[in-house]
Amino acid sequence: MNDGIQTITMTTLPFSDRKQNLRFLLIGLLLAALTSAVYSPVRSYDFVNYDDDLFVYENPNLQQGLTPDTVRWALTAGLKGEDENADYWRPLSYLSHALDIELFGWHAGGHHLMSVGLHAAAVVALFWALLSLTGAPWRSAFVAALFAVHPLRVESVAWVAERKDVLSGLFFFLTLGAYAAYARRSFSLWRYLAVVVLFILAVMSKPIVVTLPFVLLLLDHWPLGRFQAGNSGFRIPRSVILEKIPLFALSGFMSVFTWLMQREIGAVKEGFSLSMRTGNALVSYVTYIWQTVYPTGLAVLYPYDMDLPLWKVVGAAILVLCMTAFVLWQLRRLPYLAVGWFWYLGMLAPVIGFFSQAGVQAHADRYTYLPQIGLFIVLTWGVAGLSVRWSHRRVVCGTGAALVLVALIGCTLIQTSYWRNSVTLWTHALASTRPSPVAHNNLANELAAQGRLTEAADHYRKALVIHPGAGDAHNNLGILLAYQGKIADAIDSYRRALAIDPDYVEARANLGAALISQGNFAEAVEQFEAALNITPDAVSTSNNLAWLLATCPDARFRDGERAVELAQKAEQLTGGNHPAILCTLAAAYAEAGRFSEAVETARLALDLAKERGDQALAEALVRHLDLYELGIAFHDQ
């Protein structure tokens, strides 16, 4: 942090000296190595049951890896708000997950290491961008190092489903670097197009980067110095405004489009008044600052406080206003203060919750991935400015920087360890924050998957004590009760979930399955059909209804043609490589009297079941095949 304050002019290039370039390259390599080393433990971590399942390892659209069908799905996913496996349009993120599956299959460590690699690349790109903009190598390196190892980064790096953060961050920093190359020289259409294309790629990774044109305007003021100073203030040249119009237009369109899509899928939560959202936004701004300075007690989920104390809101408002007034007062003398502060405020605006509330969290560590850099700029350039007249400045600043990084690395290693698996993640969340029905529910899900049913039931019930209207917990408790053979109690839990949310597709499908166990085939069919009316592309529901219509022991409810239609749809949605769905399709063909197709499909399912080591399904398919070859349909007794 010892390099002096520099202003890059149109003719000053930071990469004009070969020896310097080698030094910059070495700094970049050291930053990448540091980042990779800090996050290397994730190579042995599992997926977690929070979005990793929905968007990655249970996403039927990604099962085949990187294929033309996967590319087509990724480019359109989230455009209509009808796909349960897509929250909004971010095709590059989905394609990166497909590439992971192509390369690593379902080995979670490979997926984790890909995220680490992208984060390391983003760190180097940030260093390059800041160096290109400011010409200050050591301060740029320190900001990049803070960004690399701060504990608030853990959620974005160690959570596979948050690949969108590290990927969008990489393209965001590349855009800044390209903009520095564009702005420091005379106008070049190709350099301008590079900025636009990289910005588009960033938006295609995660729309949170829509604030980038605003950040570019800040950088025009400092360090690029493109604003013209006058007696009454600053004047922004017309060319600086015109070049931003296409970028702001894209940002505006993507902001509205993403909000509409999130509202359509129910991600925009109702019941949060403007005063509640304003209060939470102000407190969150201050909370993120405190977590930057004192990063302990971090968790995957911070429950929303519906009754924030007035003193917290007022105190946060005063702090934010005072800081804003101070940086404006110092706008001419210390321009980096305003740039860093407004970078922080502006980049958080889309996710701070003021305009609408998305999700049930009050705030989230992952939201700081890009905004926190503004605070790092304020800190780094501020200390560099204050230390100009210090004795032994290099030793003091260097030692201080090293101690800060060592402390942050220690906190990050501890925080990363909580992401080892779903049990450690949610156990830590419950220990670190107020009781949350989501945390109890997700911990119970994982405990149930491990066969720890008594513990799981206890956490489901704790979730319902906190929030009796938690439909997820009712539904999941029903699944556990059904597994224990308590079908009547399970049905009661499913009906409670549906009383809360009649459009809860999974609860309807589970109710249908439980009703089959009681021999209530008529209502089971009704529940499955109702679920498909809500979500036509629900694979499991289509498959289960097809199986019932094809194999029901009561002939009154068998319908071979409808079963074939549903099973074929499920097959298409999963790419034709799912042995259980092919088993259903074979049974449907047999019930429809299409035995040659039934035999062919059952044989394919048998080969896939053997390939995947599913012995139980393979044995069942052998029995089915014997029937189909004799021209007899299989009916489940």
Is residue 283 in some structural domain? yes
Lowest mean pLDDT among 217-226, 253-262, 310-319: 253-262
Which letter, b or e, does each residue of 143-174 get, where b requires 16 or more Cβ atoms within 10 Å of its Cβ? bbbbbbbbbbbbbbbbbbbbbbbbbbbbbbbb
Amino acid residing at 364? A
Residue 105 within any structural domain of the chain: yes
* 16 — pLDDT class (breaks 50, 70, 90): low
pLDDT band at 616; cut points 50, 70, 90: very high
Alpha helices in 468-520 (DSSP H): 471-483, 487-500, 505-517
Which of the listed residues 417, 439, 457 is the one where a domain comes to its end? 417
- Please check the confidence at residue 348 and state whether its pLDDT lies above 60: yes
Residue at which a domain ends, from 371, 394, 417: 417
- Structural domain includes residue 476: no
The radius of gyration of the chain's CA atoms, rounded to the nearest angstrom, is 28
Is 391 domain-assigned? yes
pLDDT computed for residue 3 by the predictor? 55
- Better-scored residue on pLDDT, 10 or 353: 353
DSSP line for 290-353:
HHHHS--S--S--B--TT--HHHHHHHHHHHHHHHHHHHHTTTT-HHHHHHHHHHHHHHGGGSS
Q: Is residue 445 part of a domain?
A: no
CA-nearest of 70, 150, 55, 60 to 111 is 55
Nearest residue to 203 via CA among 226, 178, 170, 227:
170
Q: How far is CA 611 from the centre of its chain?
A: 32
pLDDT grade, residue 6 (50/70/90)? Answer: very low
pLDDT at 82: 62
How many alpha carbons lie under 13 Å from residue 15 in its C-beta half-sphere? 14
pLDDT tens digits for range 567-585: 999 999 888 889 999 999 9
pTM for the full predicted model: 0.84
Portion of the chain with pLDDT greater than 90, in percent: 78
Helix axes 453-466, 437-449, angle to 10 degrees: 170
Number of domains present in the structure of the chain: 2
> Average pLDDT, stretch 389-393?
82
- Whether 185 is covered by a domain: the verdict is yes
In tens, the pLDDT along 138-165 reads 999 999 999 999 999 999 999 999 999 9
Domain boundary among 417, 441, 456: 417
Domain-located, residue 533: no
Tens of pLDDT, residue by residue over 422-449, are 999 999 999 999 889 999 999 999 999 9
- Report the C-alpha gap between 490 and 468 in whole angstroms: 16
Tokens standing for residue 446: 């994982």
DSSP state of 261: H
Rounded distance, CA 519 to CA 556, Å? Answer: 13
Domain that holds residue 187: 18-417
Whether residue 431 is contained in a domain is answered as no
- Show the CA angle centred on residue 303, arms to residues 299 and 307, nearest 5°: 140
**pLDDT value of position 493:** 95
Q: How far apart are CA 618 and CA 616, in angstroms?
A: 5
Query: Distance between CA 502 and CA 557 in Å, rounded?
Result: 25
Q: Give the C-alpha separation, 365 to 296, whole Å.
A: 12
pLDDT value, residue 7? 42
Where is mean pLDDT largest: 67-81, 226-240, 350-364, 372-386?
Answer: 372-386
